[in-house]
Amino acid sequence: MARDYYEVLGVTRGASDDDIRKAHRRLAKEFHPDRNKSPEAAKRFSEVQEAYDTLSDPQKRKAYDQFGHAGAAGNPFGGGTPGGGGPWQNVNPEDLDDMLGGLGGIGDFLRGGGGVGSRGRAGRTGRSAARTGSNVEIETTVDFTTAAVGGVRSVTLRNSEDGKPITFDVRIPPGVATGSSLRIAGRGNPGIGGGPAGDLVLHIQVAPHPHFRRDGLDILVDVPITIAEASLGTKVSVPLLKGTVDVRVPAGTSSGKRVRVPGKGVAPPNKSPGDFYAVIQIAAPSSLSDQDQHALRELGERLQNPREGLW
């Protein structure tokens, strides 16, 4: 027997649409076959998708709340006959008309009105049973560089009909950040009654980079230099998102100073690009020869105390 959809998602029957969406995102992430390799993961993932497909759609949820799994599957008679003692003998005819799109005067039939009747022809046959399929929402991780400059990410979904994996490429636009959402039209669940498929909604998480970090549209990278380079000034080559650039470090530069390279940050479509910053970090030597220690002590005695007058 199929499990109760609310139980599958771990929510109450009075759960809000937002509660259902959050529960689906959490469970889909936990049991997605790309992340969870346990033997039961694929089955649980399919259960979660099936439950969400129904409870995220207002009409499907109404049908499920009233008639259970048979209603969600679009089979209100559950194998019986209308008015013939089947499990749906107490169905409100008006509700059933709403569920079936008002086609064919089903309400009249259940009330003994003689089949299709004039009511169906006159009032409700214009309503279409075709409906757009429900959306599929998943969380996906994008590497730092692709998120910044754009690229292609392969996405694998489970076919809602046969459970087989479907892999396709999604183009990631430049500038997406953690928390961004991308909508891919027509990659959701199939439509009902010939309706169009729903959409795929990707919720983006951006993986950290070993060197770069991001502040809005700006890119920052720490650049270590020696005490001598900081004191005398230097020119160093640093990596960009694409290629490299030579930055000039002025004499007397302290740790934390930012050297700006304009326009070399993140460049989203139709927006001005951010900047690139080399953040200077003075790397003190961990060991010195006796001669170097003596030279530094002599130099230190001649230098002004940087803390003088601060407190």
Quickly state the pLDDT bin for 1 (edges 50, 70, 90). Answer: low
Output the pLDDT for position 128: 54
Burial of 113 (0-12, 13-18, 19+ CB in 10 A): middle
In the predicted model, what is the mean pLDDT of residues 77-94?
A: 40
Distance CA 281, CA 211 (A): 13
In CATH, what class is 212-286?
mainly beta
Q: pTM for the full model?
A: 0.55
Q: Which of 243, 231, 246, 226 is nearest to 288 (CA)?
A: 226
Tell me which of 100-114, 189-203, 208-222 is least confident: 100-114
Strands 200-206 and 181-184: antiparallel
What are the residue ranges of CATH 2.60.260.20 in the chain? Answer: 136-206, 212-286
In CATH, what class is 136-206?
mainly beta
Given the structure tokens 């991001």, which residue do they identify?
A: 214
Q: Which of 56, 78, 212 is nearest to 143 (CA)?
A: 212
pLDDT in tens, 120-137: 444 444 445 788 888 989
Q: What is the CA radius of gyration of the chain?
A: 32
Quickly state the pLDDT bin for 85 (edges 50, 70, 90). Answer: very low
Q: Which of 57, 70, 99 is nearest to 188 (CA)?
A: 57
H or E element that contains 133: none
What are the residue ranges of CATH 1.10.287.110 in the chain? Answer: 5-124
Q: Which of 217, 226, 232, 231 is nearest to 276 (CA)?
A: 217
Higher pLDDT, 47 or 161: 47
> 67 is written with which tokens?
């008639």
Average pLDDT for the chain:
80
Q: Residue 209 gets which letter from DSSP?
A: -
CATH, domain 5-124, list 3.40.190.10, 1.10.287.110, 1.10.10.10, 1.20.1270.10: 1.10.287.110
Output the pLDDT for position 272: 93
pLDDT in tens, 55-71: 888 888 888 888 777 66
